[in-house]
Structure 1
Amino acid sequence: MGITARLAVLPPGRKELELETVDLPEPGPWEVVIEQQAFGICHSQLDLIDNPSRAEPLVIGHESAGVVVATGENVTHVQPGDDVLLTWLPRDPSASRAPGASRIPLRDGRVAVTHNVFAWGTHAVVDEQYVVTAPAGLSPDLTSIIGCAVMTGAGSVLNAAGDVSGRSVAVWGLGGVGLAALSGAHALGASSLIAVDIHDEKLEVARSMGATHVVNARTDDPEAVIRQLTGGPGVDVGFDCTGIGENLARSLGAVRAGVAGRGAGGTLVLVGAPRAPFSFNGMQLLSTSKTLIGALGGLCSPDRDFPVFAEWANRGDLRLDELVTNRYSLSELDEGIQDLRAGRVVGRAVVVL
């Protein structure tokens, strides 16, 4: 095949990425080689960078947009020249074959491994189950975040919360995932949409994307404000995208309670991945008949759901142009990572190639 690529490699025992030149292997029978056009910088990848306890080099990243340049002999749903998206959930969960994880030989004889896919580089070699046909009419720097940020945030609204049309909704935490959840709730007709964060600039973006009310949790008690805005009971549905375990008691407390014999309470969807163990008052959940549900990856089936997100974007309900707030070149990847760490990324950061 003869393709030379530049990949961001995380050496074992280190927290600093190195851009390495590699010679890509021929794709296996079920693999797809993608020339990247843009990829997202997801906060979850910082957790991988910050954990040096690995024995092998790691290639990371899990959302991107690009063009197919080669396929294995068993790949039938895409072909060279196709515009595609890369994601980290299998596109067809009902498939009988379990997808394989990527492995990339390095020039010094080592092999870089992944959990399933990688996206940070000029090219990717991934199992076809992680490759979805890209929607037409949208720029790759915008569609590159569908494979994680949009899938996780908007997907949680689409798949985990039931029908939100005409219901009151609160979204806690307004990074790329939270803003995608807010956009999803707006697209599906939430009657009131309350955005909660500690950064005013993120709250302003949320307002422009359809939030009817915004709450700065640094200066106000969001649970009290939400109860006031809803006339006392709290919201019908909450989405906690913060990844902060101790916030769960507050976001759950802001969901309306049910009454025994009269009906269940509201629902809180746990969207953000907690980075430490947490606890909350289980009696509160039991006595109020509320529902708490986790939604890994927005409970998405990418083949089914990505066209829905594209439809929302094409009609202007999913504001990808406002979700993507920071752009970098590949050589500026480390700058993007540091900006994300320092809270200088309002929505989602992408690298454009």
Structure 2
Amino acid sequence: MTVDARIAVLPAGQQKLEIRDVTLDAFGPYEVVVRQKAFGVCHSQLDRIYDLSRTEPMLLGHESIGTVIAVGGQVRYVEPGDEVLITWIPRTPLEGRPPVPSQVTFSEGEVAKTHNTFTWGTHAVVDEQYVVKAPQGTPPDLGSIIGCALMTGAGAVMNSAEVRAGQSVAVWGAGGVGLCAIAGAAILGASPVVAVDVDDDKLKLAQQFGATDVVNAKRTDPVAAIRELTAHEDGTRGVDYAFDCTGIGTNIPVSLAAVRPGIRGAGIRGGADVLVGIPRAPFELDSMDLLNGEKSLLGCVGGSCDPARDFETFVEWTRDGRFDPSALVTDRFTLDELNTAVEALHSGRVRGRAVVEIEG
């Protein structure tokens, strides 16, 4: 079987994507070919785009919704005609066969590679471990962002921290992932849910997703504001959980400072700061705040998610109206506008999540 596709390629040493026509005709035994409906434009991909040390062309993207049109000979999980969700967290990591990263060979012999998957194109060819059958009724807006933004943000709250009703939460960064963390906290019954950002438009959107309070860190000391909002019966102040969705190293000691301390001699440990965004560089912490407050610093990759289990939950949130993916998708583009989408994200003009919709 051959498939004519248009795929975004990031040439080595360049920062602008090229949309190339390619005929896909060689599929591995565990590969799945997906005709795309829509895919998300994730901030983590900017790290690849603006890394000029790259020596090979790359394929990007790791969250999308589409329809299977072909499968390799060893694929048993899906078949042509199935609607699927693509993600970058393996669906079956304990099966013993490591998933194989995707790559595409172009007519001139050039090979473009990935770290795991690619979704930026009309079609994707990915290891079957990176696809999840879409639950019935999954809307395209949800499917386009479930495989990274929703999984990472809401998953951090639900899985990494296991937030319970009545616990207090602060989320640093009200972009796409942060909004999903805010929504997850609100759905799980956290209170208060405090959104921290420097953009009033994003903070306004955060309230739509369940933030009970907002703090503009440009105008207000966020630690002081959060402590004012979170007075506990035991005399401590601060949130039970802070989620740093920015990946900015200087923010991390600040979000840690906003976490409630423990009480020595009473057996009460402090809260936790959860790293959700990817730190771009090493960062420093106030070690005495961490130690004396008996606080915790938790790492979180992909919301600690099990895609096959958790995607069902996220779709259920959408079915019953607790989560509105169309409100999260604030910016829509065509494939030919992908570089415009990347620049909008890089410059901070995307309030929620940018999505590329595939025609046809």
- Given the alignment of the two structures, is residue 115 of structure 1 paired with residue 119 of structure 2, yes or no? no
Instruction: Determine the C-alpha separation between the residues in 1 that align with 2:255 and 2:172.
Output: 7
Residues 32 and 68, structure 1, Cα contact 8 Å, conserved in 2: yes
Give the alignment of 1:97-108 within 5 angstroms.
Answer: 97-108=97-108
1:43 aligned residue: 43
Structure 1, unpaired ranges of 5+: none
1:256 aligned residue: 260
SS of 2:214's equivalent in the other structure is: strand
Decide which of 232, 237, 252 is 1:233's aligned counterpart. Answer: 237
Instruction: Determine the C-alpha separation between the residues in 2 that align with 1:114 and 1:217.
Output: 36
Residues 163 and 185, structure 2, Cα contact 8 Å, conserved in 1: no
Instruction: Determine the C-alpha separation between the residues in 2 that align with 1:318 and 1:58.
Output: 33
How far did 1:203 drift?
0.7
Residues 186 and 317, structure 1, Cα contact 8 Å, conserved in 2: no
Residues 22 and 107, structure 1, Cα contact 8 Å, conserved in 2: yes
How far did 1:298 drift?
0.7
Residues 240 and 271, structure 1, Cα contact 8 Å, conserved in 2: yes
| Cα displacement string for residues 299-332 of structure 1 (whole angstroms, at most 9, x for unaligned residues) | 1111111111111121122221211110000011
How far did 1:223 drift?
0.5
1:329 aligned residue: 334
Amino acid aligned to 2:51: N
Amino acid aligned to 2:190: A
Amino acid aligned to 1:238: A
- Given the alignment of the two structures, is residue 209 of structure 1 paired with residue 213 of structure 2, yes or no? no
Percent identity for Structure 1 against Structure 2:
56
Residues 41 and 348, structure 1, Cα contact 8 Å, conserved in 2: yes
How far did 1:179 drift?
0.3
1:64 aligned residue: 64
Give the alignment of 1:302-341 within 5 angstroms.
Answer: 302-341=307-346
How far did 1:23 drift?
0.9
2:130 aligned residue: 130
Residues 36 and 66, structure 1, Cα contact 8 Å, conserved in 2: yes
| Cα displacement string for residues 221-275 of structure 1 (whole angstroms, at most 9, x for unaligned residues) | 1110000111260111111101111111110110100012221011111101011
How far did 1:27 drift?
2.1
How far did 1:61 drift?
0.7
How far did 1:99 drift?
0.3
Decide which of 230, 248, 268 is 1:244's aligned counterpart. Answer: 248
TM-score by length of structure 2 reads 0.96
1:289 aligned residue: 294
Residues 174 and 206, structure 2, Cα contact 8 Å, conserved in 1: yes
Amino acid aligned to 1:303: A
| Cα displacement string for residues 174-216 of structure 1 (whole angstroms, at most 9, x for unaligned residues) | 1110000011111111121111111111111111111111111
Amino acid aligned to 2:296: T
Instruction: Determine the C-alpha separation between the residues in 2 that align with 1:170 and 1:55.
Output: 40
Amino acid aligned to 2:46: L
Equivalenced residue count is 353
1:192 aligned residue: 192
Instruction: Determine the C-alpha separation between the residues in 2 that align with 1:245 and 1:42.
Output: 19
Residues 4 and 21, structure 1, Cα contact 8 Å, conserved in 2: yes
| Cα displacement string for residues 51-76 of structure 1 (whole angstroms, at most 9, x for unaligned residues) | 12222211111111100000011111
2:161 aligned residue: 161
Comparing 165-174 with 133-142, which one deviates more in the overlay?
Answer: 133-142
Amino acid aligned to 2:138: L
SS of 1:58's equivalent in the other structure is: coil
Structure 2, unpaired ranges of 5+: none
How far did 1:291 drift?
1.1
Instruction: Determine the C-alpha separation between the residues in 1 that align with 2:354 and 2:96.
Output: 35
Superposition RMSD on alpha carbons, in Å?
1.0
| Cα displacement string for residues 154-175 of structure 1 (whole angstroms, at most 9, x for unaligned residues) | 0101111123211111111011
How far did 1:92 drift?
1.8
